Amino acid sequence: MSLRLGDVAPDFTAETTEGVINFHAWLGNSWGILFSHPADFTPVCTTELGAMAKLKPQFDKRNVKVLALSADPLESHNKWINDINETQHTTVNYPLIADPEFKVANLYGMVHPNVTDKFTVRSVFVIGPDKKVKLTLTYPAATGRNFDEILRVVESLQLTADYSVATPANWQHGEDVIITTAVKDEDIPARFPKGATHIKPYLRVTPQPNLN
């Protein structure tokens, strides 16, 4: 199965390090990040789970729930988490799905036969409160994921969902955003009281609207 942007993220029930969860019910009205790992006790993924644990308070502030997956059993997960906490100087503070039968991995197309038919590839899914897929990323095994970038993308997605704006290349929190072409010039003063700079008829920028 190949999930595309806009598809409804498949629902599932799974055992995790924080108990059994029903995915859609667990998400509720929150945004969600689901990210997968090939196996427990892998070096790059050990650093990634630690990095996400340190960043999780930032995702919490943005109403984003975090859920990881590895195709190993729960007992293995619990042992691995001890290693992560020790080596990454943090505490894993989000659930890790035990998926030894690849049920969730196959549901989300995380197993790529051209890479390997035995491990989940390192995928990331950002899912909105409407349970639809907003972003997909797939990384090779040797490249650690940039979780600051994932946080940046979530901020951009939330701005797009709440306002008629897009974010330019390399945008960072606090910088100007682009007013979408769907907004007419005459409607800008009412919708964007901070004002706008008209660079081209199709390129109009305004200060980030959700900041004081």
Q: How many residues does the chain have?
A: 212
| Active-site hit among 14, 27, 33, 45 | 45
Give residue 170's identity as a one-letter amino acid code. Answer: N
45 is catalytic: yes
Could you list the active site residues? 45
